[in-house]
Amino acid sequence: MLRRLYDAVLRLSASRHAVLALVIVSFAESSFFPVPPDVMLAPMTLTRPEKAWRYAAICTAASVIGGMLGYAIGFYLTGIGQWLLALVGHPEGVEVFRAWFAKWGIWVILIKGLTPIPYKLVTIASGVAHFSFFTFIMASVVTRGARFFLVAYGVKTFGPAMVPVIEKRLALIAGLVIALAAAFLLWRHFL
């Protein structure tokens, strides 16, 4: 079933409704949909490389807005949030994520939002843990924007051969982006 859904999303990326579909998939993936928007973003960027940045911005905005829904599910509908976390393989999710947020705070969102780990886990868990909504939104904009602009850049610059490399090395690339961002923030803070 997941493969059929994946293929359907890929077909949508070539249709005249691709931008609307990108918005819907990006929004839904942030709280409940299993297929990441990269599946549409990459082929859309290959087809229209001059619109790569527009597509990445649309993906980012829709994903962050969808993340707000995920946060609300976790915050206001804790039982449903716990059920969704269990459904995606984290039955102990609430306590584990609360411990993560208590220990690492914003870094949970920054790191997990860039990696292939489903973003919906972060959004729902952020709400369940009652993490600062403003901080959640700011971190989501940074992390989702970095991810989607990186995918758009890679596909636009290096073409189809680069997509598997980005997917395979996304965690490493995400770590480098976060390390650079942290170094820049520390440098700005102490100068």
Q: What is the pLDDT of residue 183?
A: 59
Q: What is the pLDDT of residue 63?
A: 94
How confident is the chain (191 residues) per 10-residue block, as mean pLDDT? 62 83 91 80 86 96 95 85 69 69 75 68 84 91 92 85 62 60 53 48
Question: Which residues 6+ apart lie within 8 Å of 114 measured at CB?
Answer: 143, 146, 147, 170, 171, 173, 174, 177, 178
Its pTM stands at: 0.73
Q: What is the pLDDT of residue 179?
A: 63
Q: What is the pLDDT of residue 93?
A: 60
Q: What is the pLDDT of residue 102?
A: 76
Q: What is the pLDDT of residue 81?
A: 73
Q: What is the pLDDT of residue 3?
A: 59
